[in-house]
Chains A and B, each alone.
Chain A
Amino acid sequence: EVQLLESGGGLVQPGGSLRLSCAASGFSFSNYFMIWVRQAPGKGLEWISTIASTTYYRDSVKGRFTISRDNSKNTVYLQMNSLSPEDTAIYYCAKYIYPSPTVTRVFDTWGQGTMVTVSS
């Protein structure tokens, strides 16, 4: 069974840092691009970052967040620095529907999410 499991969320003060992890199983992880998407409480979905042959970020997190992966551990990470209350959300990782290389930026498997709360 294809699965993604996020961890690393929690309560952090403004200006603080967190590193989220997403452990993958049930598929050939190294062959797939991965993404992070977040959802603020009661709000819609917001794409944050993609790790493909290169990395991509939305403007509001560029320079503060870093996506990376360790194929030996089947894990993708999101390092988040200089956090602000506006970053409070559930953070989901997801996999591309097709193995790389692909431009079909569509996501067929999602984790259950990890909650990040930025508050003093």
Chain B
Amino acid sequence: EIVMTQSPATVSVSPGERVTLSCRASQSLSSDLAWYQQKPGQPPRLLIYGASTRATGIPARFSGSGSGTEFTLTISSLQSEDFAVYYCQMYNSWPLTFGGGTKVELK
């Protein structure tokens, strides 16, 4: 099983700031990595797949990069609606696994 490790566990950010979240895989994924956003009481929302492709309707301030075992999600200018937990997910093999999540909170 491929283990996904996200860091940091929590990041405190002010609106308008840039934030970068990290996700590391225990084995190479090529570019088979997705990012989801989850707000309290809601299901996850797909943001990024293929490491860098934004899903339909996702604002351009969200960008993904990386390949192999190291990936990042960047929010260029944090908006109030972006405070949430972010999960990465690998999908190049079974079982599918998610990272433990990074909570983006208000500073």
Is the pairing of A and B real?
Answer: yes
Interface residues on A, range: 20 to 34
Stretch at the interface among A9-17, A40-48, A73-81: A40-48
Of B44, B56, B91, the contact of A105 (CB 8 Å cutoff) = B91
Bound Cα distance from A35 to B34, whole angstroms: 15
Residue in B45, B94, B96 with the greatest tally of chain A CB atoms within 10 Å: B96
**Residues in chain A near residue B32, CB distance under 8 A:** 105
Interface check B43, CB cutoff 8 A: yes
Give the interface of A toward B (CB within 8 A): 35, 37, 44-47, 50, 56, 58-59, 92, 94, 97, 104-108, 110-113
**Residues in chain A near residue B96, CB distance under 8 A:** 35, 47, 50, 105
**Residues in chain B near residue A94, CB distance under 8 A:** 43-44
Given contacts A106-B34, A108-B55, whether A97 and B46 have CB atoms under 8 Å apart is yes
Given contacts A106-B91, A108-B55, whether A47 and B97 have CB atoms under 8 Å apart is yes
Closest A residue to B48 by CB, please name it: A106
Of A45, A59, A113, the contact of B95 (CB 8 Å cutoff) = A59
**Residues in chain B near residue A59, CB distance under 8 A:** 95
